[in-house]
Amino acid sequence: MTSELRPSRWSTTVCCLLYGDYPELAYRCLKPISELYNNGVPVRISCNEISDRTRSVIKKLFEKPERLITLENNPQIYKYPAMRELLWKTDPITTDYVMWFDDDSYIKDPSPVKWLTEVENFMVETMADMIGSLYQVISFPKQNEWRRLHCSWFKPSMVSNRTLFATGGWWSIKSSLLSKYDWPHKDLKHRGGDVLLGELIKHEGLRLKKFNKGIAINADENGKESASKRRGYDEPPIGL
């Protein structure tokens, strides 16, 4: 369903991707997001091949879905096509920032509203273009060649053998950058988007800042970051 555009005191639109028959993960992710929604935060949910049990979680948590945007794909269309659809094939995004959740990430701060206020203040105070939990990986020659051929922002002078990036399970970014660079890249399917976005930020001289306070990202049952089990479709990262 789509929503009537209304002004919001918030500067962030929250987007979330659900997959499959994992109602426990969906509930863990969406419960604090629903608190944000009830306090006026715009929320969009993409559903890739979800089950009736997962669908019931959405209905339970969002009892007044007038402003909620939900999209379903069955069979699934994978992560980045779903992200493109959620960002660009529904109502225009009118907030300054977009925040992304994979369904195995969740807000662990006991006050989601206070936490989001802190996130928005952090982005303003640090003048960040993007925030998240930061990692580094090796950047292989084959990947750099792919970027040279397929990315308009690619600058040979900025090529290096390592990439700093915000892991893809959760991040927040300026909406204007998503629009300017038509993100996510149309060739992205399911893996490698976080590293590619890190490269874009590096090549364009943008500001990537570390923030992982009060958030569990790609978390296992104990909330440990980057410890969740991979589910469903898998592939090599783009460019490899």
Cα–Cα distance between 176 and 185 in angstroms, integer? Answer: 15
How confident is the prediction for the chain on average, in pLDDT?
93
Work out the percent of the chain whose per-residue pLDDT is above 70: 95
pLDDT grade, residue 222 (50/70/90)? confident
Q: What's the mean pLDDT in 90-116?
A: 97
Contacts of residue 34, defined as CB under 8 A and 6 or more positions apart, other chains included, come to 43, 61, 62
Where helices occur in 5-152 by DSSP H, the ranges are 23-38, 52-61, 79-88, 112-126, 141-150
The total of other beta-carbon atoms located within 10 Å of residue 145's CB is: 13
pLDDT tens digits, one per residue of 177-216: 999 999 999 999 988 999 999 999 999 999 999 999 999 9
- The partner residues of 233 in beta bridges, in order of sequence, read none
Distance CA 62, CA 97 (A): 22
pLDDT one-digit tens code per residue, 54-67: 999 999 999 999 99
Please report the pLDDT score of residue 4 as a whole number.
Answer: 40
The pairing of strands 12-19 and 97-102 is parallel
User: Could you count the other beta carbons within 10 Å of the beta carbon of residue 4?
Assistant: 7
Q: Is the pLDDT of residue 235 over 70?
A: no
Instruction: Give the type of residue at 194.
Output: D
In this predicted structure, what is the pLDDT of residue 171?
A: 98
Contact 43, 33 (CB under 8 A): yes
pLDDT at 47 > cutoff 60: yes
Enter the pTM of the model: 0.93
Is the pLDDT at 124 greater than 70? The verdict is: yes
Q: Which tokens in the block code for residue 199?
A: 């490269």
* CA dihedral of 144, 229, 214, 102, whole degrees rounded to 10: 60
Judged against a pLDDT cut of 90, whether residue 68 lies above it is answered with yes
The number of beta carbons lying within 10 Å of the beta carbon of residue 212 is: 16
Three-class SS state of 129: coil
- Cis link prior to 110 (omega < 30° from 0)? no
Structural domains for the chain: 12-216 (3.90.550.10)
* pLDDT confidence of residue 229: 76
